């Protein structure tokens, strides 16, 4: 909680969220939290807070397509920093643990349909995320996640 970005956070709430995540997330025990990473002697320039309230990204791709190659790194306990592909089934729950606390898999190229049709046996990325983002009658944490929802989509 010593990070400037957390100064407006309720410490009790943050601790409760941390405890919940430790109990239900399949990744909590295997990976370091940003709090642990921050305490280590790492090149601090990699983790400095932005100096402005706005963040921008520039993508350079072919045919006006957003590039599929992003740099995503994880910190396994007892190991060095590792890069993972955005196509890894655990990419979504590791990047957005508050949205997928139980480790629900994200889309990956080998995701098979529950009911196979004659034409296709795999689920397309478009179909997967269309289904995941669909508005339903039941509670959907994704739709109540505010700026985190915006980042996710």
State both tokens at 152.
């996710």
Instruction: State residue 151's pLDDT score.
Output: 87
Q: What angle do CA 135, 141, 145 make, to 5 degrees?
A: 100
Q: 74 and 84 in contact (C-beta within 8 Å)?
A: yes
pLDDT (tens digit, 9 = 90+) per residue, 40-87?
655 555 556 555 555 445 555 666 666 666 677 787 877 788 888 888
Average pLDDT over residues 115-124: 81
- Residue 45's pLDDT is what? 58
- Are 122 and 110 contacting, i.e. CB atoms less than 8 angstroms apart? yes
Domain spans in the chain, listed from the N-terminal domain onward? 4-152
The predicted model scores a pTM of 0.69
Residue 76 pLDDT = 80
152, 96 Cβ separation under 8 angstroms: yes
Which pair of tokens denotes residue 137? Answer: 């009658």
């Amino acid at each position: 909680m010593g990070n400037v970005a957390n100064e407006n956070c309720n410490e009790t709430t943050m601790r409760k969220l941390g405890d919940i995540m430790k109990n239900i997330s399949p990744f909590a025990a295997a990976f370091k939290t940003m709090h642990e990473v921050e305490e280590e002697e790492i090149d601090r320039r990699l983790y400095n807070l932005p100096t402005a309230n706005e963040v921008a990204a520039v993508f350079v791709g072919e045919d006006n397509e957003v590039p599929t190659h992003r740099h995503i790194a994880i910190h396994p306990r007892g190991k060095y920093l590792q890069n993972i592909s955005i196509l890894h089934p655990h990419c979504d729950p590791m990047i957005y643990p508050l949205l997928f606390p139980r480790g629900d898999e994200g889309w990956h190229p080998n995701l098979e349909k529950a009911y196979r049709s004659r034409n296709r046996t795999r689920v397309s990325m478009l179909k997967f995320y269309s289904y995941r983002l669909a508005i339903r009658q039941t509670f959907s944490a994704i739709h109540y996640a505010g700026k985190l929802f915006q980042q996710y989509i």
